[in-house]
Amino acid sequence: MKYLSLMLIITTVIGCKNNTQKDIKPSSENEKLISFFVGTYTDSLSEGIYSYSLSNSGNIKKIKLAAKTENPSFLAKSVDGKFLLAVNEINSVDSMGTVEAYKITGDSLAFMSRQSSGGAHPCFVGINQNGFVLTANYSSGNLGLFKLNKEGDLSDLLDKKQHYTNNHVEKGQWEPHAHSAYFINDSLIVSADLGTNDLWFYTLDTVENKLKGTIEETLRIGVDPKPGPRHIAFQPQKDWMYVINELNSTIALIKKGENGKYTVQSSVSTLPDGYSEKSFCADIHISKDGKFLYASNRGHNSIAIFEINQESGELTAIGYESVKGDWPRNFALSPNNDFLLVANQRSENIVSFKRDKVTGLLTFVEEINVPSPVCILF
């Protein structure tokens, strides 16, 4: 009887453990996988653009090298999801960068076309629903305009817009460094220039295929200390945008007035009180419901988490999550917003976090080694 009782106890304990494991980790049979692409720097072990999968429990798995190409530092998808665009940040002072188009088939990429980006060291590419493509060329301080057709062919360079220092500062004090360019809608464009500290606004003329705008249509983000605007996130339910500033680790709230002009409303730090070490912002994203904003800190090596006031747009810091690595260059929210993935460039890993949709807070799931990751695209 003692032996039988002991066996029953052991069986019960083992059964409880097995049930607990099943509750924490779903079986592989029930996992739903979402594929995503990773852009990298190819100056070490990486060879180009890789495809990975994300499970519904937040686990990441490498699939394969999807495209062998040089320094694909930023990626974008066409609105219909059929094509992937990549800028190649050619690692030479005198070399022009390129922009490439690939056809997407599941987790695979097929090369379609390539053009000069219109400048040196392109670091951003974007596309609207009509196939117009923008590149931001950092070292040249300019934008390039192209068009992608339905077969995946990129046009020649249609137009180029050069940024320059303006009357706000002495000539030659700051050099232009275009860091991003977004379609606010199909005809209105905004570009963040880290060097001039301005947002540059353009309208797209689809008859002449030209970008039109003047220096009077720029918006100064700040002067002292130099902010260095880098990327922009748009509140999905409001006419608000948030600009992340690389050099002074802040986020500026920008609102559109009744006169149609955008103005800076306020600015908040991305760093916790008392932190005094060097840190530089990189990326910024807003949840689909418009309630939470996330920003990456390189140096502090964290994701800053903010709640967005739905009436005023003002930000309130609610947390700082360690990225479990070094130099979070880029991050992305999964399509269902259940997870947030961070690309740590220097520590060469991608880290997965579970996102609480009610509180906005993050919980670490796992990490995976990835060579020089700098862009994640779902």
Position 28 scores a pLDDT of 55
Residue 242: strand pairing partners? 233, 253
Contact by Cβ (8 Å): 377, 75: yes
- Phi, psi angles (nearest 5°) of residue 332: -150, 145
Output the CA torsion sign for 64, 92, 245, 271: positive
Kindly list the distances between the CA atom of residue 125 and the CA atoms of 21, 186, 290, in Å, as whole numbers in the listed order.
43, 15, 24
Tens of pLDDT, residue by residue over 127-181, are: 999 999 999 999 999 999 999 999 999 999 999 999 998 655 544 447 999 999 9
Domain residue extents for the chain: 69-220
Q: Which helix (H) or strand (E) holds 261?
A: none
Q: Which helix (H) or strand (E) holds 3?
A: helix 2-24
Confidence of residue 324 (pLDDT cuts 50, 70, 90): very high
Domain over 69-220 is classified CATH 3.40.50.300: no
pTM of the full predicted structure? 0.90
Residue 98: strand pairing partners? 88, 116
Confidence of residue 108 (pLDDT cuts 50, 70, 90): very high
User: Dihedral (C-alpha) 316, 319, 324, 329: value to the nearest 10 degrees?
Assistant: 0
Mean pLDDT of the chain: 91
Kindly tell me if the per-residue pLDDT of 337 is higher than 70: yes
Residue 6 CB partners (closer than 8 Å, separation 6+):
none
Position 83 scores a pLDDT of 98
Of all residues in the chain, the percent with pLDDT exceeding 70 is 89
Position 93 scores a pLDDT of 60
Give the separation between CA 246 and CA 268, rounded to whole angstroms.
13
